[in-house]
Amino acid sequence: MESEPDELPDFLSEDSDAGDELYEHFRLVVDKGQSPIRIDRFLTARMENKSRNRIQIAASAGSILVNGKSVKSNYKVKPCDEITIVLSTPPVNKFLVPENIPLNIIYEDDDLLVVNKNAGMVVHPGVGNFSGTLVNALSYHFQNLPVSKSNRVNDTDLPRPGLVHRIDKNTSGLLVIAKHEEAMTFLAKQFYDKTVDRKYIALVWGNVEEDSGTIEGNIGRDERQRKLYRVFTDGSSGKPAITHYKVIKRFGYVTLCECVLETGRTHQIRVHMKHIGHTLFNDDRYDGNRVLKGPNSGSYKQFVSNCFELVPGQALHAKTLGFIHPSTKKHLQFDSELPEGFEKMLEKWENYVTHTLKEDIQG
């Protein structure tokens, strides 16, 4: 039997290689001499530190496929069957301390909740961020959130709120959190299948030439600057990533865009937009926190600096999130308003285009 983990998340830092989607994907090929046995027993015996209960939950969620078709726990494996399984993998952290931090919850039921995260809040604890995170807040407010097994800590139970995806520290917007293992596994499968609707609003440097487009290119960690990610155009490294964009409004030296994700790689929008020459506005990690377009005048530099002060980092907001509910199986769609600082920044650019920019062109 072959076992090939496609996703092995490392939750030691906010900038891990795991990407924004938190799941593990395994592929197993059954030996030619294998006798018939229930698939839940088969997988439990062959997947280290994966309990039978977790395997059965994955089967109930439709997350176990045999030769491309979903099967239940009582399916009996046959020689040469190709098995794929998706398991949710919530963050592991030994130093998690519940904290009474207010949350902006826009939807909640017995299975999940959707929160609108503020820019500046780290999603989960890691190196340099052991407190003040979304997970610290969730652990305080929701004591019954999922606790799973992980082979990283000798299969010991730890309090780990049910994240199935994440967004960067300085990105604001919507996140869905599962309240129990079944919901977490069901949602993780949707992220793996790329059926979740995710729309972001981004302000980028430069006048984007095309009204809409698609950016494709593997994204991986930069070999020389380990905190950065880049596009590998030849596919030699990184993981496949696809971002669709369309222009919402042009402000001369910056452009407001809507970005739709097909994949969820770390820093995907930030890296893809920079790759096509349009770094996100005020993105300090990718050199967007300085004047990249516009006149070389003191007044313009001061204007841009004033805009920077209104957003804590890259001008990026996870505005829309849609998925199938784990219990009702109905499609839920959520939308969020831009943060106040983001709105004020756009008002400044609108005023600049209406007055100063036109005067500069006429002059």
Q: Identify the active-site residue in 20, 40, 168, 283.
A: 168
Query: What's 17-56 look like in SS3?
Result: CCCCECEEEEEEECCCCCCCCEHHHHHHHHCCCCCHHHHH
- 49 neighbors 155 (Cβ within 8 angstroms): yes
Task: Centre a 10 Å sphere on the Cβ of residue 42 and count the other Cβ atoms it contains.
Answer: 21
Q: Give the closest residue to 261 by CA, choosing from 194, 313, 202, 209.
A: 194
Cβ contacts of 351 within 8 Å, gap of 6 or more: none
Assign 267 to helix, strand or coil. Answer: coil
Q: Which amino acid is at 318?
A: A
Q: Give the closest residue to 260 by CA, choosing from 249, 275, 248.
A: 248
C-alpha distances in Å from residue 256, one per residue of 21, 266, 359:
25, 21, 22
Catalytic site residue 211? no
Q: What is the DSSP letter of 87?
A: E
| Pairing outcome for strands 254-261 and 197-205 | antiparallel
Residues labelled catalytic: 168
